[in-house]
């Protein structure tokens, strides 16, 4: 990592900013990217969904019942352990269903929209900004380190880290997603400053700096996962044992600013519909939790046969059905094939440039990375023992020994987990390493289970 300070980062504005150059990581060049910046509006949907699994660390306890009428911003449920943490409805309408799975776990809450546009009003002038954030549901859209969970209401926040870009494959520009709401960023920073005794950092790409008095601007260069707020935090001011930081994206920051300016929460979003199986990749303006089908609108190749729909990016997103809902963080849909070339000639031994590897195992590298690759959902191998080759470290621009940390998590060696940086990481930070893993280990699942077990042990 290389650091420079006090650079002039704009022709118009002189920022006393830090430039961080990350050397590790990798950018996957996938087919199906969006060519322009035009945004089309999605048709109003009949039903919208909220999935509790999107809000890690919350055990939902319903406040709204089936048949209840709700406005956008009304509480659907709160956390069983912290009543103050609320999750709210993105639209006005009637609670149509509370779908439960094994052991009565709430899997989704469906709201039948009335398209009235009714929004709950909040007292944005209240002295306690944290209480307003909790009541509005915006608190649940942030995450804390350690443990990568919705922050506890009573936690002492050392610093807050905001990421201003998404570096994942085919990810949208957060500046485009934020749109005209950028005018609320300064107010959002002011609110966040009131809930921490430390700094508010905004990580951004050079040329995409935002004017936000009170925030520390940090320009990040480098490949994915440079856009992860946790990776940025680890390279700016790492979290240590006994400390807590909060991470969020700049779109959520703008929503916070809008709440404290207008008195209501905006649940509008711009979604990038991307992937090799999309006929015309494009941006769609929609509402959080909208049906996936309303975003695709017969825009899939071969009628949508044999595809995998992912809410989010291909590395860390959640697989959803065609009749499912857009999942948090509500800004990306990726569609890829489930299976390509089932009976391909020579298989893994093929010399075709269509075959891809992070390493120079196939001839694709002769094209110099210019070719957009069409990949399917296969893992092309089976789980095996960890190969200690340093490949995780090459994909993770953090000052930790990733392979040793994974082994410590599997063994649940608490002392080693602490020494090796368990408090700094989140599952998404290991998504790229999971893709490149020759052992085919589910690293994100391992890290998530390790964080959950660690939290239960320490609390």
Residues 328 and 53: their CA atoms lie apart, in Å, by: 9
Cα pseudo-dihedral 442, 445, 446, 449, rounded to 10: -170
pLDDT tens digits, 349-386: 666 666 777 776 666 666 665 678 888 898 878 888 88
pLDDT number for residue 369: 59
331 by DSSP, 3-state: which?
Answer: coil
Cβ neighbours for 407, distance < 8 A, ≥ 6 positions apart: 386
Instruction: State pLDDT tens for residues 419-440.
Output: 999 999 999 999 999 999 989 9
Q: How far apart are CA 294 and CA 296, in angstroms?
A: 6
- Per DSSP, the three-state class of 367 is helix
* Cα–Cα dist 77/85, whole Å: 9
**Are the C-beta atoms of residues 152 and 311 closer than 8 Å to each other?**
no
Cis peptide before 146 (omega within 30 of 0): yes
Distance CA 172, CA 166 (A): 7
Question: Which 3-state string (H, E, C) describes 215-252?
Answer: CEEEEEECCCCCCCHHHHHHHHCCCCCCCCEEEEEHHH
Give the pLDDT means over successive 10-residue stretches in the chain (459 positions).
49 62 95 95 95 97 98 98 98 98 96 95 88 97 98 97 98 96 97 97 94 93 97 96 97 98 96 97 97 94 93 97 95 92 64 71 64 84 85 95 96 96 97 94 97 94
Query: Residues 6 or more apart from 127 whose CB is under 8 A from it?
Result: none
CB 102 within 8 A of CB 55: no
The model's pTM is: 0.93
């Amino acid at each position: 990592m290389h650091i420079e300070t006090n650079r002039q980062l704009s022709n118009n504005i002189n920022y006393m900013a830090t430039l961080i150059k990350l050397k590790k990581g990798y950018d996957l060049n996938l087919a199906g990217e969006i060519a322009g910046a035009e945004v089309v509006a999605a048709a109003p949907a009949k039903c919208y969904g909220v999935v509790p699994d999107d809000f890690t660390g919350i055990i939902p306890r319903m406040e709204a019942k089936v048949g209840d009428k709700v406005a956008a911003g009304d509480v659907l449920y709160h956390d069983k352990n912290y009543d103050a943490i609320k999750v709210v409805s993105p639209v006005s309408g009637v609670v149509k269903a509370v779908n439960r799975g094994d052991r009565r776990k709430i899997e989704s809450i469906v709201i039948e929209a009335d398209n009235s546009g009714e929004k709950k009003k909040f007292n944005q002038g209240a002295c306690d900004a944290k209480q307003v954030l909790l009541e509005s549901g915006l608190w649940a859209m942030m995450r804390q380190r350690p443990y990568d969970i919705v922050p506890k209401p009573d936690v002492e926040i050392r610093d807050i880290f905001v990421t201003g870009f998404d570096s994942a494959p085919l990810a949208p520009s957060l500046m485009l997603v934020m749109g005209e709401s950028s005018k609320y960023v300064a107010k959002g920073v002011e609110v966040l400053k009131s809930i921490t005794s430390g700094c508010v950092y905004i990580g951004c790409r050079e040329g995409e700096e935002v004017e936000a008095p009170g925030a520390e601007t940090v320009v990040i260069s480098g490949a994915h996962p440079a856009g992860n707020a946790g990776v940025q935090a680890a390279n700016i001011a790492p979290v240590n044992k006994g400390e807590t930081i909060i991470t969020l994206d700049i779109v959520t920051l703008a929503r916070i600013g809008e709440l404290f300016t207008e008195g209501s929460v905006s649940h509008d979003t711009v979604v990038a519909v991307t992937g090799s199986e999309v006929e015309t990749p494009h941006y769609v303006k929609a509402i959080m939790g909208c049906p996936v089908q309303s975003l695709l609108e017969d825009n899939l190749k071969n009628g949508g046969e044999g595809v995998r729909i992912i809410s989010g990016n291909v590395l860390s997103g959640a697989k959803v059905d065609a009749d499912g809902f857009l999942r948090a963080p509500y800004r990306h849909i990726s569609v890829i094939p489930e299976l390509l070339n089932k009976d391909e000639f020579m298989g893994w031994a093929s010399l075709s440039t269509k075959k891809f590897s992070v390493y120079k195992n196939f001839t694709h590298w002769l094209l110099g990375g210019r070719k957009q690759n069409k990949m399917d959902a296969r893992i092309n191998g089976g789980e095996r023992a960890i190969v200690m080759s340093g490949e995780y470290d090459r994909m993770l621009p953090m000052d930790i020994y990733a392979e040793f940390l994974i082994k410590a998590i599997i063994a649940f060696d608490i002392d080693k987990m602490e020494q090796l940086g368990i408090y700094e990481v989140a599952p998404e930070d290991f998504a790229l390493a999971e893709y490149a893993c020759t052992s085919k280990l589910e690293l994100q699942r391992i890290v998530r289970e390790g964080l959950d077990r660690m939290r239960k042990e320490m609390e």
